[in-house]
Structure 1
Amino acid sequence: MPSKKKTKIVATLGPATSKKEVLKKMMLAGVDVFRINFSHADYEDVKERIKMIRELNEEMQIYTSILADLQGPKLRVGVMAGEVVVAPGDEITFVTGEPFEGTAEKVYMNYTNFPQDVKAGERVLLDDGKLMFEVVSTNGKDEVKAKVIQGGPLKSKKGVNLPNTNISLPALTEKDVKDAIFAVSLDVDWIALSFVRFSQDLIDLQNIIKEHSEHKIPIIAKIEKPEAVENIDKIVAYCDGLMVARGDLGVEVPAQEVPLIQKQLVLRAKKARIPVIIATQMMETMITSLTPTRAEVNDVANSVMDGADAVMLSGETSVGNYPVQVIEKMASILQSVESSELINVPHDPPHIRTNRYITKSVCYHAAIMANEIKAKAISTLTNSGYTAFQISAWRPSAHILVFTSNKRILTQLNLLWGVKAFYYDKYVSTDETIEDVNQIACKKGFLDVGDMLISLAAMPIKDKGMVNTLRVTEIETCNF
């Protein structure tokens, strides 16, 4: 049986995770979501991996989720001619147009509008901020002159960050549109959009999904630019989840500001009742070592204490030497801290009277009551998954068991904190259905005789309407 931890683990696929046996071990060790990084994805390869994951889900009767992560506008320099080193005070020219081999005086930049967008005095960061330049002048057409502030080796195809520049590129590039259509054709569970800055970025992706799929595929906005942090309220209104992408964020804003931004974004997601993933360098040393550093263990634990739904591994599972061991280690950290009373979740009851106000209120009170009566689980029957999002955001100490006949949401819900979803399609009388799902929960090891359980349902059950009923039961028998 996979572990009963409540915080979810997102693992990135890559060369280290190409065998079905490795994927199976990772699932058993605690992976809840597999991430496809479209920055380095081969379509045939992706199809093969998704097929393996779905076969394993079927074989093991679990619902591992698939997240497609779009690359977004990646700015890069071109290929260098041999070893190139720049020193503080040197001048260098960035040239757009036709690619060429770069030198210490002149390098190719793949971002055509760079000379039009950039202004004198703005910073240009390269290779995750290892190199720093200041713009001296631009001809507004195809050349930008810059002065080296922080020097070092200038390597081929390294990423460029422009923290002060208002970039005219859309978040969805041509490559992203193509990748999104491909991901939608494979029925992935979630799509993440990189370098989101404005709500329009998300609306554009929603339109692509609508055009190519009959189903709603939820979108995760990756927050990695200062504009996104400023526009967070508008972004939250158009996405279904957030990812704190600390890699680029830590280059675009001063690194010391990232911890507080992380806390602020987690809080914002909780208020919006949407899941939030913390990503980048969580267990980085485990790419080559069997032991994480104390700081990494602390980082993972603190992300849970902040209230993150999920923590993400990138290089650790895509190219690392120990893809299974890193999951085991992470799962053990999560389990040891996630039930702590030090975790503070904002408990403001819902007050905006939308058409779902009753459902929200029932879910809020179920979570509060579960903590008061020390209920082992909250079970809910749902067709849309809405109640799962709501209850999860309140972080009850009980397990959240979701029963649904909608196969699409089974894997989607696997990203949400504390949620375990089960396929169930016998909607009969209320008493019979609730008794039935209770026995499934017993069988799966979530309930025992004497445990308290809170059941949520929409009455009458066969109508599959909005949740309007809360019922408390003490488990008297576990027959299975």
Structure 2
Amino acid sequence: MPIRKKTKIVATLGPASSTKEVLKGMLDEGVNVFRINFSHADYSDVTERINMIRELNDEYGYNAAILGDLQGPKLRVGVMKEEVIVNPGDEIIFATGERFEGTKERVYMTYKTFPQDAKPGERILLDDGKLIFEVVSSNLKDEVVAKVIQGGPLKSKKGVNLPNTNISQPALTKKDIEDAIFAIGQRVDWIALSFVRHAEDLMQLRDLIKEHSEYKIPIIAKIEKPEAVENIDKIVSQCDGLMVARGDLGVEVPAEEVPLIQKQLVLRAKKARIPVIIATQMMETMIDSLTPTRAEVNDVANSVMDGADAVMLSGETSVGKYPVQVIKQMSDILKSVEDSDLIKVPQLPPHIRTNRYITKSICYHAANMANEINAKGISTLTNSGYTAFQISAWRPSCHILVFTSNKKILTRLSLLWGVKAFYYDKFVSTDETIEDVNAMACQKGYLEAGDMLISLAAMPIQEKGMVNTLRVTEIKTCNLS
């Protein structure tokens, strides 16, 4: 039986991954989720790619998910008139209001309320922190005077980070609202919100989804600001997944603090039993090179060993030269480390008696029992996907086989560690249903005669209620007809 990876790969779409052939190659090598970056998205291109991915899913039996990633309040400078170099000690004005072409003396800033929010002494970081300025003064209307601390080339449309400033801009900008409504219309599987600071930011997006969609789309909170790290408990209570967005996070907080923050966030997600994605610069050199650096290989491996559900590629698959090969390299790294005994998952049994206490408890014990009896798989029937989230978070060493008649969640579950989802719609008696799904698992190559399997179900099965039954079976024969 081939080794199947359990950690999922999220790949960003772009010019490099715009043909059906390339997308098929990426799926064959192990992509599970395609990310649409709405910072650089053209709606007609996005619609075309989504259609291609869904056609490939149907033609080849894949369940690749689509993640719409909203830009959030990304601050930028405007277009520069000519090549500008700023030197330490220089003064420059950041101006809002009417757009204009920037010079060495004045540059346009997209953040309208910057003059009201900026305080003397606060830092302005440009171009991923390559340029550093300090606020000298503000006229509180439309201009901020700043002094150059670390100079260099000041280029058009570069991103701005304000690590000390209390930003009054909403987390959902006008552009985000338009993009979110478009993404909802395209029936994406997940929506990610950038620059989340407070739980209220996520509530706003949830209300927007509720208003424009008849079904719930799960939300991923991207953690890239120091306030988000401080407010993580409240944020976790309002989201369905986390992304450790190390690019902006590494600019907003000192870069040396990011590794421990990454570990802290992964642990927090595991305790909440929600998926967590590690993102940014994972295989950056493979944008132009056929081989990653040793440090990048280590980074991907360590993210898996921290307990990440998924690792993400950005430029490597959107604009890189080798979008298919980078997926293969990443899959090889994941397969080589993810079954290591060195990976520890917090094993805290559910103790708060919520209305899902029985289901949680059964999932927890199923994962532990699977490891104790060396079961080959845990199979579960689900209508909402809830049991898949629970079992995946406990990280059993066996296959997690999820059977559902709800086509909407088939692709959504592709983000979850170790989960393989199948469409099944014959909910008859418990015995018949379990025999059916066992036969399917055999046909797909997940089980062989003599294997132990743990089956979870909701009794009575026709009601599709909450899981309340655990059953252990030894597979007598694997009928592969």
TM-score (norm 2): 0.99
Following the alignment from structure 1 to structure 2, what is the Cα–Cα distance between the partners of residues 48 and 406?
Answer: 25
The one-letter amino acid of 2:45's match is: D
Contact 2:3 2:335 survives alignment (8 Å): no
Question: Is 1:270 paired with 2:278?
Answer: no
2:113 — aligned with what?
A: 113
Question: Is 1:321 paired with 2:321?
Answer: yes
Cα offset, 1:4, TM superposition? 1.9
Equivalent position SS for 2:358? helix
Q: Deviations over 1:127-158 (max 9, x none)?
A: 00000001111111111111111000111111
The one-letter amino acid of 1:188's match is: V
Change (3 A) 1:88 1:2: farther
Following the alignment from structure 1 to structure 2, what is the Cα–Cα distance between the partners of residues 72 and 29?
Answer: 31
Select between 88-97 and 254-263 the one with higher mean Cα deviation: 88-97
Q: Deviations over 1:158-193 (max 9, x none)?
A: 100000000000110000000000000111000000
The one-letter amino acid of 1:377's match is: G
Cα offset, 1:5, TM superposition? 0.6
1:310 — aligned with what?
A: 310
Equivalent position SS for 1:156? coil
Pairing of 1:17-32 with structure 2 (within 5 A): 17-32=17-32
Following the alignment from structure 2 to structure 1, what is the Cα–Cα distance between the partners of residues 165 and 220?
Answer: 24
How many pairs were matched up? 480
Equivalent position SS for 2:76? coil
Cα offset, 1:103, TM superposition? 1.4
Cα offset, 1:196, TM superposition? 0.5
Cα offset, 1:78, TM superposition? 1.1
Cα offset, 1:3, TM superposition? 6.9
Following the alignment from structure 2 to structure 1, what is the Cα–Cα distance between the partners of residues 185 and 3?
Answer: 31
Pairing of 1:184-199 with structure 2 (within 5 A): 184-199=184-199
Following the alignment from structure 2 to structure 1, what is the Cα–Cα distance between the partners of residues 281 and 315?
Answer: 8
Equivalent position SS for 1:217? coil
Pairing of 1:204-283 with structure 2 (within 5 A): 204-283=204-283
Q: Deviations over 1:19-77 (max 9, x none)?
A: 00110110010000000000010111111000000000001112100000000111111
1:340 — aligned with what?
A: 340
Following the alignment from structure 1 to structure 2, what is the Cα–Cα distance between the partners of residues 93 and 45?
Answer: 38
1:68 — aligned with what?
A: 68
Question: Is 1:203 paired with 2:199?
Answer: no
Contact 1:65 1:415 survives alignment (8 Å): yes
Following the alignment from structure 1 to structure 2, what is the Cα–Cα distance between the partners of residues 316 and 116?
Answer: 39
TM-score (norm 1): 0.99
Equivalent position SS for 2:349? coil
Contact 1:2 1:28 survives alignment (8 Å): no
Cα offset, 1:235, TM superposition? 0.4
Contact 1:405 1:425 survives alignment (8 Å): yes
Equivalent position SS for 2:454? strand
Q: Deviations over 1:302-323 (max 9, x none)?
A: 0000000000000000000000
Equivalent position SS for 1:295? helix
Following the alignment from structure 1 to structure 2, what is the Cα–Cα distance between the partners of residues 427 and 108?
Answer: 61
Cα offset, 1:473, TM superposition? 0.8
Following the alignment from structure 1 to structure 2, what is the Cα–Cα distance between the partners of residues 207 and 78?
Answer: 32
Cα offset, 1:460, TM superposition? 1.1
Contact 2:86 2:104 survives alignment (8 Å): yes
Question: Is 1:454 paired with 2:457?
Answer: no
Pairing of 1:7-406 with structure 2 (within 5 A): 7-406=7-406
Contact 1:38 1:179 survives alignment (8 Å): yes
Contact 1:73 1:171 survives alignment (8 Å): yes
Q: Deviations over 1:443-480 (max 9, x none)?
A: 11111111111100011111111101111111110102
Question: Is 1:426 paired with 2:426?
Answer: yes
Following the alignment from structure 2 to structure 1, what is the Cα–Cα distance between the partners of residues 70 and 46?
Answer: 13
Cα offset, 1:249, TM superposition? 0.2
1:472 — aligned with what?
A: 472
The one-letter amino acid of 1:201's match is: D
Following the alignment from structure 2 to structure 1, what is the Cα–Cα distance between the partners of residues 314 and 62?
Answer: 23
Following the alignment from structure 2 to structure 1, what is the Cα–Cα distance between the partners of residues 447 and 62?
Answer: 18
Following the alignment from structure 2 to structure 1, what is the Cα–Cα distance between the partners of residues 470 and 460?
Answer: 13
Cα offset, 1:438, TM superposition? 0.5
Cα offset, 1:102, TM superposition? 1.3
Cα offset, 1:2, TM superposition? 10
Q: Deviations over 1:262-282 (max 9, x none)?
A: 000000000101000000000
Pairing of 1:404-419 with structure 2 (within 5 A): 404-419=404-419
Identity across matched positions, percent = 81
The one-letter amino acid of 2:163's match is: P
CA RMSD of aligned residues (A): 0.9
1:443 — aligned with what?
A: 443
Following the alignment from structure 2 to structure 1, what is the Cα–Cα distance between the partners of residues 258 and 110?
Answer: 28
Query: Structure 2: where are the runs of 5+ without partners?
Result: none
